[in-house]
Amino acid sequence: MGESEMTTKTDGADDEAVSRFVERFAAEMTAAGMQRMASRVFAALLASETASMTSAELAEQLRISPAAVSGAIRYLGQVSMVSRERDPGTRRERYVLHNELWYETFTRRDQTLTRWEKVLDEGAATLGTDSSAGRRIAETAEFFAFLHGEMSGIMDRWRAHKKAQAD
């Protein structure tokens, strides 16, 4: 078995089934607005046993060029979904999913919602709530404030759920 097969294969899963999953999940992420190649690379990392792969392993598994891997990794790094680590004893880099990936992703989204809410509140005040635009912007700010509150509660419940599983 080659190095990339050892890295990407999961216990009991055949390569074809893993490949189908990767492409299906990538398609869902692309439909939700993520770049297509970044979606494929992310899904491949997610499905790998170690949550990490080299550029060569990703290119081989996904049948894409190293340049395509590089572009996807650059995007995934910018949105803090993967990081780079040096492969021990080599000059190669491994691309690694962050620990608690979804928690970190939603926490960043929560911070974004807070920033948007602040700007929208300022916009509503500037336009005045007696105008249609001001009311629309104020309602949008209120929606983001609501989401922020709900997201905090969801994340608290998630941490409690994970702690209960660990106990």
Provide CB contacts within 8 A for 148, sequence distance 6+. Answer: 110, 113, 114, 117
Q: What is the pTM of this model?
A: 0.73
- In this predicted model, what pLDDT tens digit does every residue of 75-107 receive, in sequence order? 998 888 898 898 788 888 999 987 777 777 777
Judged against a pLDDT cut of 90, whether residue 164 lies above it is answered with yes
| SS3 label, residue 66 | helix
- In this predicted model, what pLDDT tens digit does every residue of 34-69 receive, in sequence order? 999 999 999 999 999 999 999 999 999 999 999 999
Q: Could you give the CA distance from residue 42 to residue 26 in angstroms, rounded to a whole number?
A: 8
Provide CB contacts within 8 A for 90, sequence distance 6+. Answer: none
What's the confidence (pLDDT) of residue 91? 84
Residue 90 vs residue 128, higher pLDDT: 128
Q: What is the mean pLDDT of the segment spanning 3-22?
A: 67
